Amino acid sequence: MARDTGFPDADAESDFSRLRRQAELARLSAWITRQPADVNTILPFDEVVAALGRTGERSLGLKAIEVSTIVGSVDRTRDFDRYFRPTSARTRARWQRLAAAQRRGEAFGPIIVYRIGSLHFVVDGHHRVSIAIARRIKTIDAYVTEIHTRISADGINAPSDLLLKDHRRIFLTRVPLQGKQAEAITFADPFDYAELAENVEAWGFRLSQELGEFLSRTEVARRWFGEEFLPVVRMARRAEILPQVTSDAELYLWLATERYRLVRKHIWDEQIVADLREIADRRKS
């Protein structure tokens, strides 16, 4: 970090130029190392909320928040990258004017943000956040509105992560598991959520037919998890089928798909388990 000269305008100009260089170097580094194209892209608030499913909000008032938790924007996604470095020179004049004013001791009001989980999205105050990052200021005052969502924002680092969250949200709408049961269903491939939802709904339809009564989605989800998912996963773990697959949901989906391919029936018995173990062993070799 360059040493301040004591001249606010010159130091503000230096700070802006340094952030622009960092933004370009980050883009170049991502290209050279073949990282995802959106690794340095600021998170768009509307798309995040759509993926997670908005359920409500509440005002938290004035808070001091960590600058490092500010990762997104409501409407300035073209002007700054994921780390609030300017993406072009078009913001230079205003950025440097505000930065110089701050260095002269002029006071600025709090920024305005939305909070989703531990992440913050700027409504007003993008330049002030960028200046705080340039000057390595750790916290900033903000008026915070907390947004409640259907699923957690944990694990969102880039816009490409939103597809997985969106499919998970839709899955939990179709199969409304709660708490630890919902936490047990995780996939790396977003489209596996859709395939499992189809599987659970078919299982629930068959159960309704057997009982001769209508079952709600909540009841189907609860019974599927306790009467189908857990017993099958435990059976597979005891039989050491695909022990390298750490996700119980991925293991179950593979088992259910292969079982139906083998026998075209929705049953479990010792022969099916033996056949599945043989298939799994061939897959490892």
Structure confidence at residue 152 (pLDDT): 94
> Quick one: 43 and 179 in the same domain?
no
Is 60 part of any domain?
yes
C-alpha to C-alpha distances, 209 to 36, 217, 224, 231, nearest whole angstrom = 47, 15, 15, 21
Q: Share the mean pLDDT of the chain.
A: 90
Counting the structural domains of the chain, the total is 2
3-state secondary structure of 213: coil
> Quick one: 148 and 182 in the same domain?
no
Answer yes or no: are the C-beta atoms of 149 and 116 closer than 8 Å: yes
**pLDDT beyond 60 at 1:** no
Is 3 part of any domain?
no
Structure confidence at residue 36 (pLDDT): 65
For residue 47, how many C-alpha atoms fall within 13 Å in the half-sphere facing its CB?
16
CA dist 215 and 16 (Å) reads 61
> Quick one: 20 and 98 in the same domain?
yes
Q: Which of 156, 187, 212 is the last residue of a domain?
A: 156
> Quick one: 120 and 216 in the same domain?
no
pTM over 0.85: no
Q: What is the pLDDT of residues 211-231, one digit of tens each?
A: 999 999 999 999 999 999 999
Structure-block tokens of residue 80: 């700054």
Is 162 part of any domain?
no
Domain that holds residue 233: 175-284
Least confident of 36-45, 158-167, 235-244: 36-45
Give the residue with greater pLDDT, 57 vs 242.
Answer: 57
For the segment 65-69, the average pLDDT, to the nearest whole number, is 97
Structure-block tokens of residue 233: 């996963």
Residue 212: other Cβ atoms inside 10 A? 6
Is 161 part of any domain?
no
Amino acid at 209: Q
Is 139 part of any domain?
yes
For the segment 4-27, the average pLDDT, to the nearest whole number, is 87
> Quick one: 124 and 220 in the same domain?
no
Q: Which of 106, 124, 156 is the last residue of a domain?
A: 156
Structure confidence at residue 17 (pLDDT): 92
Least confident of 85-89, 116-120, 143-147, 279-283: 279-283
Q: What is the pLDDT of residues 83-121, one digit of tens each?
A: 999 998 899 999 999 999 999 999 889 999 999 999 999
Is 274 part of any domain?
yes
> Quick one: 139 and 182 in the same domain?
no
> Quick one: 66 and 33 in the same domain?
yes
R_g of the chain computed on alpha carbons: 25
**pLDDT beyond 70 at 263:** no
Structure confidence at residue 265 (pLDDT): 65
**pLDDT beyond 60 at 285:** no
> Quick one: 150 and 180 in the same domain?
no
> Quick one: 126 and 246 in the same domain?
no
Is 193 part of any domain?
yes
**pLDDT beyond 70 at 284:** no
Give the residue with greater pLDDT, 34 vs 192.
Answer: 192
Is 240 part of any domain?
yes
Q: Which of 203, 158, 215 is nearest to 40 (CA)?
A: 158
Q: Which of 92, 121, 156 is the last residue of a domain?
A: 156
Q: What is the pLDDT of residues 163-212, one digit of tens each?
A: 999 999 999 999 999 999 999 999 999 999 999 999 999 999 999 999 99
**Domain at 122, CATH number:** 3.90.1530.10
**pLDDT beyond 80 at 281:** no
> Quick one: 28 and 127 in the same domain?
yes
